[in-house]
Amino acid sequence: MPIPIYESAEDYLEAILMIQQKKGVAHSVDIAEYLHFSKASVSVAMKKLRENGYITMEKDGALNLLEPGREIAERIYERHRVLTEYFVMIGVDEETAAKDACKVEHDLSPVTFEKMKADITARRKG
């Protein structure tokens, strides 16, 4: 059973998912480049994610999300996309919106997040 996860681990899992969607495969070096972290820091984090049942690593270094890791990554990535869209809708430039979404995506309550999603849907229709 996976242990409770921290914000930094959520960021790593989200990065794996995003890189996989873009490139088809994610390696630790890709994560380091994407998050602007040292390769050593990413290596330590990947070891912890493996030990806690969130990812596996192939012999060639390819990272795979296990179901618990995929669920977290997809949840955080959805929050990131929705928050970025919402901030852009209210007039924030795309770059600032994406940066702010990264800051908020981990801490926003499910209730507030669902209200924001509903507001986006209403704005699209109206």
Average pLDDT over residues 6-32: 95
Q: What are the Cα distances from residue 10, in Å, to 49, 66, 98?
A: 10, 13, 16
pLDDT, tens only, 31-67? 999 999 999 999 999 999 999 999 999 999 999 999 9
Residue 5 has pLDDT above 80, yes or no: no
**Residue extent(s) of CATH 1.10.60.10 domains in the chain:** 75-125
The predicted structure's pLDDT at residue 1: 47
pLDDT, tens only, 68-111? 999 999 999 999 999 999 999 999 999 999 999 999 998 899 99
Q: Are 84 and 97 in contact (CB under 8 A)?
A: yes
φ and ψ at 84, to 5 degrees? Answer: -60, -45
**Residue extent(s) of CATH 1.10.10.10 domains in the chain:** 7-72
CATH of domain 7-72: 1.10.10.10
The predicted structure's pLDDT at residue 58: 96
The predicted structure's pLDDT at residue 2: 47
- Would you state the CATH architecture of domain 75-125? Orthogonal Bundle (1.10)
Half-sphere exposure of residue 68, counting CA atoms within 13 Å on the CB side?
Answer: 14
